[in-house]
Amino acid sequence: MSYIRQLRKQHHITQAQLAEKLNVTQTSVSQWESGRNFPDIKTARKLADYFGASLDQILTPHTEESEGKDSYLPYIYTDSPYHRGVNASKAGELEMKRRLIDIFDHLSLTAKARILERAEAYLEVELYERGNKLKDNLDESEAR
């Protein structure tokens, strides 16, 4: 089950109700939940704010494990030579990067361009949010 669907069900709303709140079609919500499409960055931000989630949670595709639990991190091959000598906290990040490169290599040029555009938009939002947090922290420390 996708994380968007899980959040929607936890809030006891239908696809149609969520679509209405976001000014999108029910088909769009259905496609996000099935993994056939992703919301644009502005809509993803609205989803994250509405559900109290992060952009990572909204935009990361989720797979179901055999036990029926959602898997939010890729499987990490901690005993592989690829991770030997690597800090365990960085192993998950390295595995995600490796998987991303593997997937990216199999995409068409058009698909690669679309992903890069989306990544740039995502980075812009992240940098904006970090800047706001930094500003808030500075303002708070000056007020003391």
What single DSSP character describes residue 70? E
User: For residues 144 and 138, what is the distance between their CA atoms, to the nearest angstrom?
Assistant: 10
Question: Binning pLDDT at 50, 70 and 90, where does residue 21 land?
Answer: very high
The number of CA neighbours under 13 Å toward the Cβ of 30 is 4
Any residues with CB less than 8 A from the CB of 28 and at least 6 apart, and which?
19, 37, 39
Tokens of 99: 């998987």
Q: Is 58 left (phi over 0), alpha (psi -120 to 50) or beta?
A: alpha
Report CA 93 to chain centroid distance, whole Å: 14
Q: Which tens digits make up the pLDDT trace of 47-85?
A: 988 888 887 778 776 654 433 444 443 334 444 444 445
Backbone φ and ψ of 72, nearest 5°: -95, -15
Q: Is 80 left (phi over 0), alpha (psi -120 to 50) or beta?
A: beta
pTM of the full structure? 0.46
Q: Is 49 left (phi over 0), alpha (psi -120 to 50) or beta?
A: alpha
Report whether pLDDT(39) > 80. yes
70 pairs with which residues across the strands? 64
Tokens of 138: 């500075």
